[in-house]
Amino acid sequence: MDAPAPHRFVAHVIEEAQNKIHDDDVARRFGFTGALVPGVELFARITTPLVQAEGPGWLSRGRVDVRFRRPVYDGEELLVEVADGALTVTGPDGEVRCLGSTAPTAERPDLTGLVEVPPADRPVADPVVGPFGSVHEDVPVEQNEWYLDAVGEPLALYRENAWAHPGMLVKAVHRLLTRNVDLGPWIHTASDCRFLGVAQLPARVTSHGRVTSVGRRGRHDEVRYDALVLADGEPVLHVAHTALYRLGSSG
């Protein structure tokens, strides 16, 4: 993969953020100085220089692993740099906010067990190892275009081809957690993504998932799960996803 040029973007909490950790007052209760920018929106713009360097084929066969290490606040300018496949995102203070890796191609992941599962009658308080209920959503072109504007995506290929943005696909992965678990404020901490195809819109987007582990990270409860996203029945993304699904008080 040709090394992408260093890429700068301004991170924002977009209007549709429902998770209250993206609200100033709630975030401060958990020890942050203000609303956290959603990890999925950071992920969305981290992909910009990768697609720009590798070309649209990366959206069908590429890989990116992103780990969110330090908080990012609304309006901060971030710098994405890639060298020898290692990815670093730094804030305006020079502090590393995200780390990861990327590659132009990746081995096809094991999709065993990522199949249709009927949803439960209601979300559970705590996830357990095993399948999540599948989630379906019709995604129109207009929803994707709104998202492109909201995150400030500069690449034209998503609009020109009516392709779902990678951030939109990771939002489908989030819905597995939000539809299956009764959540308060929570934090997305990592995504290891393998792209399997382009989602041509409009499309029926389906997400299957399986919880692989549940545990503690410091004062927080953590869940890890594998997810498969399909567009009109065709696989487009596999993610090994990590989130802090219940936050402990900073006090």
Maximum Cα–Cα distance across the chain: 49
Q: 82-133 pLDDT, tens per residue?
A: 999 999 999 999 999 999 999 999 999 999 999 999 999 999 999 999 999 9
pLDDT, tens only, 24-81: 999 999 999 999 999 999 999 999 999 999 999 999 999 999 999 999 999 999 999 9
Alpha carbon distance 164, 173 (integer Å): 14
Residue type, position 107, single letter = E
Distance CA 25, CA 204 (A): 36
Could you tell me the pLDDT band of residue 251, with boundaries at 50, 70 and 90?
A: low
> How many other CB atoms are found less than 10 A from the CB of residue 5?
11
- State the amino acid at position 104 in one-letter form: P
> Which is nearest to 209 in space by CA: 132, 135, 136, 137?
132
Task: List, in order of start, the domains of the chain with CATH numbers.
Answer: 7-106+116-246 (3.10.129.10)
pTM equals: 0.95
The Cα 128–Cα 36 span in angstroms is: 27
For 19, the token pair is 């998770």
